[in-house]
Chain A
């Protein structure tokens, strides 16, 4: 299938730092593509170049096989990481302003319902909660009924409840078979929403693929977590590799029975034991040797 968006050898050199260092990938139609990485990995710069609001030092971005142009601006929906709206406008007026900037698009009332903004439709957009503002910005991004939707860290700073509401909304939009490009530093969010992810670090893509496939490729084990205080004895004497992670101990193993027997042999209480599958945070650690949220 012909990709909707194609990024080729993108480089962005700032005076002090090479923010994007030769990035290439392509996004198929109807796919939710996640660009992951820690703060400062180059995600936002990459996305801004793809949105046409930042110029690359070299490389190119193609929309439907063409360089970004008037057609792209008319057909793309964009939610920036930080966006100020015009002061003194209500939610409905803000939406109406953007609706008029496009030749065709969705009905403003329909968007207000879709993004659960009915309660605040007449409120000044400066008086919205974080979650409400993100939903308004999403509604604005959808105002032209976009072929491709860019969401740059849409849930950063939201409380868990608001984040889950936002995820439900994105899933509803995904169900319309829209192409979505999402950047996030929440691995859980990427796992929950994205069909394909690319992990970025220091301006480069270090892994790309479906989340579950990436995990299967890199891990064949699970993680046993125990409180540090429940574990007696010398970690070095334990027959399996141990990882001290804060006040917890993590044991990675493909053979859970063997690990449990070893723990029981040493009289370790299993009351607080947790077994979890490998997640994208582990993958990032594995790939870079660094914690994601540092």
Chain B
């Protein structure tokens, strides 16, 4: 059992390192469930469970600031449960979905608290011009995330389904929804920081233009960029023409009156 738990730890770490290995989808159910099947000596069931769970989470992938349920842990534990108990493949889904929600809570906590704090350390290294420091913070952010996440999956595997269910039931609702609200607001800090860098009085109206187009017309970002480019082209050619007029006439028309 200990050996199997260690194998599960390695599979989970491998799956969570998906974004380390070129976001190549190695954390998806089809891949990790197959590996679990290999580790627990039932490859065929692993692949079939992988296919079932892949379908469940087909639409789940991170876009922008929205984070999907943690399908990596869900797929690993769901598949292990099916193989060890000999239950129906469909019951993998029953266990996998709550597990994925639970571990997503942990990874959300990491990305909300721990990694931003590491990011602020990276800011301090940047202030000193220390390239190695920035690199180290990147590696640190990997280690502090992968080890607890993979560890929890291995522990959950070791203690089994009843323990998982009681842990899920004991998480207070306020913690869950409080963190949920926070994840919706935190991106505003990042936007405000970048706006502080590039915005000035002259340009502030364009932030509002983008906002209004999106708020009232639901315009996608690509459309906003297109309109922005048109405005830039207009300003650019206007300025070019003005410059030509200046050159042709040889008069500086700073004073219009």
Please say whether chains A and B are actual partners in one complex: no
Interface residues of B, Cβ cutoff 8 Å to A: none
Interface residues of A, Cβ cutoff 8 Å to B: none
